[in-house]
């Protein structure tokens, strides 16, 4: 932006909404912290911190995210954030309501709950954290675990003959009416961070404009359970994760899909 | 006088909720409570409310949880299998200390039970809590359509007052039996505002609210959380116990019964009195908190107790606990149902008629 003063604050200071806390929430090299920052920046830039209500699923996002972002927030039972968000949004339509959910939370225990929120055409936004495993409980297989990937419950690597195939959430979501936006992003390079921020902003905007559900999937590093160093995680994302889960915009519509007679 | 209408208990529940200012309902179809969501789907949109048919009862209870966090008066209703499915959510609502109301129009048996048949076999689950974590819910047990209407207003008031979940327990007979109901608005004391509601911090002078867990709310200290809850539960016990005592002052046999069975028991007491037998009825209205002291006093005065419930015996446990072995406690349970002889249905599909109860009373008083 022309004429804007570039300060230290602007470059690497914390967003105003990021609540400073005396202890570390996430493992070193985890991307969740970067995503929290990104969410804060988006809420601030859209100026919606006053009417935003966040809901975090069960996972590594459960405690930290509601605490760390200075807006109305609740942690939710495992997989149920979309049902709770539905009620909050329907009761307070002027609020901007979003869920932050892991891949076990949204893709396994909460898949039905999530799918039904999409089927009902709720006006919500969901940030989906795909780290290809259950982080919190010790790195077990998630619906998003890549074939052949070793986890604590697939010690020989994920075998499709017994465990099926990875969930491609962003592609699936894009097929559904009522969804206005669906994209997959990463934050493993600065360029990708910027693209991801734009995606999250768009996903919120679709809700605010009443067009439909906004969905953004993040490929997120989990050094602890991938048993890789943070730099090796970046490599794993760019070599393995992106091959299975290509970052892209899968749906972006500006006019609601409501049949005209219902508008 | 307020308008009088002829409606069944289910409709009385729905109308009672609306008259309490509940404008938001989330539910899933199940017999015998379908009249409640059907009524709500018709009426709530007219008053700017929200009706959502959820995909399952687990979703219903989480919508109720979300709606309660949003600061609104919200409810769901279900029947036994659906109530089982709600247990995790009920536990979370209790943990978060947000007010809400859930109605269980119970039906008979575990599992699918007997689909549409009446019964009172959820007492233990509803009063003791089917979910994890040692929480409590207030349980109201209306025994008429009028009480269904009135108790819904009371339920929302108590939920807001103590920030607890209130369960209203009825059954097939109470739910589907039509009776005249006076659509009266009950008066309650004023309640504090819900400054904790999640609706965006701009509506709360920029002060945000966040909720993670009970332990977190109480400084990461579970004993402090349980200390606080124990105080809340004690306050409820001190001031909210409700029961009806009927012709029991001079009784030599105390019949204890609730819900639809209490209707039969009341009639049986009158029939016994007409024969000169001094029977009386004690009907707990709050099943939790259970009127322990009052039951014990009435039981000791009478010297003998007969519990009547359409179940293999659940209420009887609370009565025995209250009476503490001081007087004998007998049970007329589901085996006391009238069984038509020689018909195809010899399995006891009838109900516990007043005549069945009278027979038992004759043997005891
Ligand atoms: C009903 C229920 N089942 C299981 C758990 C245990 N649990 C806590 S976190 C978690 C996995 C979450 O994995 P994911 O959604 O991938 O999030 P991540 O930990 O990777 O952030 C599980 C199974 C729970 N809290 N509740
Ligand atoms: S376990 Fe994985 S997802 Fe959870 S905080 Fe650690 S690195 Fe992040």
Record the pTM: 0.96
Q: Which class is A32-255 in CATH?
A: alpha beta
Residues B156 and B297 in one domain: no
Residues B178 and B249 in one domain: no
The span from the first CA to the last CA of chain A, in angstroms, equals 38
Quick one: which of B120, B118, B170, B103 has its CA closest to B141?
B170
Query: Residue B303: which domain range?
Result: 244-364
Quick one: which of B319, B327, B263, B280 has its CA closest to B300?
B327
Look at residue A6 in the predicted model and tell me its pLDDT: 79
Look at residue A2 in the predicted model and tell me its pLDDT: 61
Domain total in chain B: 2
Report whether pLDDT(A243) > 70.
yes
Residues B174 and B27 in one domain: yes
Residues B154 and B260 in one domain: no
CB-CB under 8 Å, A94 with B210: no
Residues B55 and B163 in one domain: yes
In this structure, what token pair is assigned to residue A108?
A: 């396994």
Nearest CA to ligand 1 atom 5: A78
Report whether pLDDT(B141) > 80.
yes
Look at residue B219 in the predicted model and tell me its pLDDT: 83
CB-CB under 8 Å, B58 with A50: no
**Which positions ≥6 away from B30 have C-beta within 8 Å?**
B57, B78, B79, B81, B82
Q: Closest ligand 2 atom, CA of A31?
A: 8
CB-CB under 8 Å, A91 with B67: yes
Residue B170 lies in a domain: yes
Residue pair B37/B27 in contact by the 8 Å Cβ criterion: yes
Least confident of A37-51, A115-129, B79-93, B106-120: B106-120
In this structure, what token pair is assigned to residue A227?
A: 């048993």
Look at residue B4 in the predicted model and tell me its pLDDT: 97
| Percentage of the residues of chain B whose pLDDT score is greater than 70 | 96
Count Cβ atoms below 10 Å from residue A155 Cβ, excluding itself: 7
| Residues contacting ligand 2 via CB (< 6 Å) | A 26-27, 30, 32, 60, 131, 135, 222-225
Residue B28 lies in a domain: yes
Which residue of chain A comes nearest to B210, CA vs CA? A73
Residue B210 lies in a domain: no
Residues B172 and B257 in one domain: no
Look at residue B333 in the predicted model and tell me its pLDDT: 96
Distance, in angstroms, between B31 CA and closest chain A CA?
22
Report whether pLDDT(A12) > 80.
no
Burial A102-122 (b: 16+ CB within 10 A, else e): bbbbbbbbbbebbbbbbebbb
Residue B165: which CATH number? 3.40.50.970
Average pLDDT score, chain A: 95
Report whether pLDDT(B115) > 70.
no
Element (H, E) at B58: helix B57-69
Least confident of A16-25, A90-99, B184-193: A16-25
Residues B251 and B115 in one domain: no
Distance, in angstroms, between B151 CA and closest chain A CA?
24
> Which of A61, A77, A134 is the pocket-test mutation for ligand 1 (most atoms within 8 Å of CB)?
A134
> Which of A33, A34, A59, A145 is the pocket-test mutation for ligand 1 (most atoms within 8 Å of CB)?
A59
Residue B155 lies in a domain: yes
Least confident of B136-140, B176-180, B199-203, B334-338: B334-338
The residue out of B150, B182, B214 marking a domain boundary is B182
Where do the structural domains in chain A lie, given as residue ranges?
32-255
pLDDT in tens, B180-231: 999 999 999 999 999 999 999 999 999 999 999 888 888 878 899 999 999 9
Q: What is the mean pLDDT of residues B7-32?
A: 98
Measured distance CA(A50)–CA(A260) in Å, rounded: 33
Facing A87 at nearest CB: one of B74, B96, B213: B74
pLDDT in tens, A59-80: 998 888 999 999 999 999 999 9
Report whether pLDDT(B116) > 70.
no
A65 touches B: beta carbon within 8 Å: no
pLDDT in tens, B121-134: 999 999 998 899 99
Report whether pLDDT(A145) > 90.
yes
Optimal mutation site among B57, B194, B201, B210, interface A, most CBs of chain A within 10 A: B210
């Amino acid at each position: 932006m022309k004429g804007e003063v570039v300060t230290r604050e602007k470059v690497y200071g914390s967003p105003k909404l990021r609540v400073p806390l005396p202890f570390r929430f996430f493992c070193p090299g985890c991307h969740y912290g970067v995503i929290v920052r990104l969410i804060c920046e988006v809420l601030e830039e859209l100026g919606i911190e006053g009417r935003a209500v966040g809901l975090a699923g069960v996972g590594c996002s459960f405690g930290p995210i509601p605490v760390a972002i200075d807006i109305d927030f609740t942690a939710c039972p495992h997989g149920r954030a979309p049902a709770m968000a539905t009620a909050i949004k329907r009761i307070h339509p002027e609020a901007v309501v979003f869920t932050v959910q892991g891949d076990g939370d949204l893709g396994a225990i909460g898949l039905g709950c999530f799918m039904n929120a999409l089927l009902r055409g709720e006006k919500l936004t969901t940030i989906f954290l795909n780290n290809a495993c259950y982080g919190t409980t010790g790195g077990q297989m998630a619906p998003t675990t890549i074939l052949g990937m070793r986890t604590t419950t697939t010690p020989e690597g994920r075998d499709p003959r017994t465990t099926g195939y990875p969930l491609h959430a962003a592609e699936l979501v894009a097929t559904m009416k009522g969804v206005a936006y669906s994209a997959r992003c990463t934050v493993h390079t600065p360029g990708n961070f910027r693209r991801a921020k734009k995606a999250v902003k768009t996903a919120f905007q679709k809700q605010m404009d009443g067009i439909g559900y906004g969905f953004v999937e993040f490929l997120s590093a989990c050094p602890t359970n991938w048993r890789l160093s943070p730099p090796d995680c970046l490599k794993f994302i760019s070599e393995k994760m992106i091959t299975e889960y290509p970052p892209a915009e899968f749906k972006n519509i500006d006019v609601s899909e409501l049949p005209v007679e219902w508008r | 006088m307020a308008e009088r209408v002829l409606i069944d208990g289910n409709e009385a529940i729905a109308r009672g909720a609306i008259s309490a200012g509940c404008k938001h309902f989330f539910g899933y179809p199940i017999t015998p409570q379908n009249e409640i969501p059907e009524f709500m789907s018709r009426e709530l949109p007219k008053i700017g409310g929200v009706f959502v048919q959820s995909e399952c009862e687990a979703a219903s209870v989480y919508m109720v949880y979300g709606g309660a966090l949003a600061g609104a008066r919200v409810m769901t209703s279900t029947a036994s299998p659906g109530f089982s499915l709600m247990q995790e959510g009920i536990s979370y609502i209790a943990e978060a200390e947000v007010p809400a109301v859930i109605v269980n129009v119970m039906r008979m048996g575990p599992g699918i039970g007997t689909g549409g048949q009446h019964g009172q076999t959820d007492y233990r689950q509803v009063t003791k809590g089917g979910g994890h974590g040692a929480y409590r819910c207030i349980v109201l047990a209306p025994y008429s359509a009028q009480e269904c209407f009135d108790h819904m207003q009371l339920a929302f008031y108590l939920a807001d007052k103590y920030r607890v979940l209130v369960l209203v327990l009825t059954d097939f007979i109470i739910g589907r039996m039509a009776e005249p109901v006076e659509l009266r608005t009950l008066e309650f004391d004023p309640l504090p505002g819900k400054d904790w509601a999640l609706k965006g911090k701009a509506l709360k002078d920029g002060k945000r609210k966040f909720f993670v867990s009970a332990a977190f709310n109480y400084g990461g200290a579970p004993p402090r959380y349980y200390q606080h809850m124990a105080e809340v539960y004690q306050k409820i016990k001190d001031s909210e116990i409700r029961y009806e005592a009927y012709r029991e002052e001079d009784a030599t046999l105390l019949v204890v019964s609730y819900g639809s069975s209490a209707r039969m028991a009341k009639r049986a007491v009158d029939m016994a009195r007409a024969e000169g037998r001094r029977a009386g009825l004690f009907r707990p209205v709050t099943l939790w908190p259970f009127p322990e002291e009052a039951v014990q006093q009435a039981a000791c005065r009478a010297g003998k107790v007969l519990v009547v419930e359409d179940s293999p015996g659940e209420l009887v446990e609370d009565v025995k606990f209250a009476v503490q072995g001081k007087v004998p406690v007998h049970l007329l349970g589901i085996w006391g149902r009238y069984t038509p002889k020689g018909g195809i249905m010899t399995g006891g599909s009838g109900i516990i008629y007043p005549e069945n109860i009278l027979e038992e009373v004759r043997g005891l008083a």
